[in-house]
Amino acid sequence: MSAEIKAGPTEASDPGGVPQKRKAALRRFFDAATISVMPIYAFTLLFVVGPLVYMFILSFLKRAETWGVLREFTWSNYTNILKPVYLKTFYESLKLAFFTTFFVALVGYPFGYFMARLSATWKRRMMLLLMIPFWTSSLIRLYGWIIIFRANGTLDKILMGLGITQAPLKLLYTYSAVVVGMIYALVPFMIFAVYSSAEKLDWQLVEAARDLGATPWQAFITVSFRLTLPGLLSGVVLTFIPSMGLFFIADILGGNKVILVGNLIQEQLMKARNWPFAAALSVVLMILTSIMIALYRKVSGVKDLEGLV
């Protein structure tokens, strides 16, 4: 529409050329800005939209006896999910995700909030400290937790050395180990999300609240917390969604005892070679996470996830 409006005045000055509308459209198509973003569109189409469509189609096909899939339509992959054993996996995953998110918020919110109150130099230092672990592969960092958690490992040695416990805790390959691993992996995202929102908080508003008679706690609840809530909510989304799919944490720290949707998908894809079922599970997981994001948008009224950019 804007192109038509733009073309209006030039039409009068340049009569009898190529139809102006087409010329404008062509110009728009070939202008530098459009061309420069083309690779991004191509990339997205090829590597994001393409696989998603492929996965969606796959989830309605039948599994072949030996290798790959049969080109026959079926609902059975979805009805399969309704079996109690798989429903339980979804339930367990959601439970773990809630747990993880709760603890991540408990640790990450105050951390991010107070980090935003530091001086510029200390902010930079804290940011660096938070970034350093990301320079190492997350898998290797998880193996670090094995050393800490295993029987007579670092944690046991410290606790027994201090006389707090008498025997090894045998934390490795338990639910607790998985929760700790999840919190460890996801807490930075919460911190960044809360931090970016707390950084924008005008401290004068808190002073105004105190001036108008609020105690420090009342000022925090009615002003600071309320205004950093979008950050917390986006942190919740950024934690909850990955915690549904971080199968390798449950794998490495939980042994085979904790099976999550992520593990199930991986198992169906790699071991059972049931691609259509793995695809159906992925589609359901995606729908669940989309609902989460939709809920978040509704609650916070914010369109972009803070801390993501």
Partner 1 sequence: MSDIILELSQIEKSFGDVRVLNGIDLSVRKGEFITLLGPSGCGKTTTLRIIAGLETPDSGRVFLAGKDVTDLEPNKRNVNTVFQNYALFPHMNVESNIAYSLKLKKVDKQTIAKTVKEALELVQLSGYEKRMPDELSGGQRQRVAIARAIVNQPAVLLLDEPLGALDLQLRHQMQIELKRLQKRLGVTFIYITHDQEEALNMSDRIAVMRDGKFEQIGTPAQVYDNPRTSYVARFVGSANLISGTAYNMGDGLIRLETDYGLGVARTRGAQISDGQAITVAVRRESVNLVTQETPDNLGLRAVVKEKHYAGGVLQIIVSLSDGRELVCSRQGIDSPLKPGDHVLVTWLPDQGVIVDLEAAG
Helical H segments across 45-137, by residue range? 50-58, 76-81, 84-115, 120-131
Give 175 or 220: the residue with its C-beta nearer to partner 1.
Answer: 220
- Nearest Cα to 309, choosing from 232, 226, 202, 234? 234
Integer Cα distance of 269 and 218 in angstroms = 52
Q: How far is the CB of 289 from partner 1 (least distance, A)?
A: 28
Residue from 66, 121, 204, 256 that binds partner 1 (CB under 8 A)? 204
- For tokens 């609650």, what's the residue? 299
Q: How far is the CB of 211 from partner 1 (least distance, A)?
A: 5
Give 79 or 218: the residue with its C-beta nearer to partner 1.
Answer: 218
Collect contacts of 44-50 with beta carbons under 8 A, ≥24 apart. none
Question: Residue 73 is inside which H or E element, if any?
Answer: strand 69-73
Residue from 118, 205, 269, 288 that binds partner 1 (CB under 8 A)? 205
- Interactions with partner 1, residue window 105-144 (CB under 8 A): none
Chain centre to alpha carbon of residue 76: 29
* CB contact at 8 A, 307 and 235: yes
Q: How far is the CB of 233 from partner 1 (least distance, A)?
A: 14
Q: How far is the CB of 4 from partner 1 (least distance, A)?
A: 33
* CB contact at 8 A, 116 and 198: yes
Beta bridge partners of 61: 73
Rule CB under 8 A: say whether 202 interacts with partner 1. yes
- Nearest Cα to 281, choosing from 242, 244, 240? 244
Phi, psi at residue 89, to the nearest 5°? -60, -45
Give 202 or 304: the residue with its C-beta nearer to partner 1.
Answer: 202
Q: How far is the CB of 204 from partner 1 (least distance, A)?
A: 5
Give 211 or 304: the residue with its C-beta nearer to partner 1.
Answer: 211
Q: How far is the CB of 214 from partner 1 (least distance, A)?
A: 6
Give 24 or 194: the residue with its C-beta nearer to partner 1.
Answer: 194
**Residues near partner 1 (CB under 8 A), total:** 17
Q: How far is the CB of 309 from partner 1 (least distance, A)?
A: 21
Contact flags string 207-246 toward partner 1, x per CB under 8 A: xxxxxxxxx--x---xx--xx-------------------
Q: How far is the CB of 219 from partner 1 (least distance, A)?
A: 8
* CB contact at 8 A, 258 and 178: yes
Give 191 or 219: the residue with its C-beta nearer to partner 1.
Answer: 219
Q: Which segment (4-12, 160-168, 205-213, 287-295) binds partner 1 by CB under 8 A?
A: 205-213
Give 4 or 202: the residue with its C-beta nearer to partner 1.
Answer: 202
Cβ-in-10-Å burial (0-12, 13-18, 19+) of 195 comes to buried
Name 202's Cβ contacts closer than 8 Å, sequence gap at least 6. Answer: none
Integer Cα distance of 225 and 205 in angstroms = 12
Residues that bind partner 1 (CB under 8 A): 202, 204-205, 207-215, 218, 222-223, 226-227
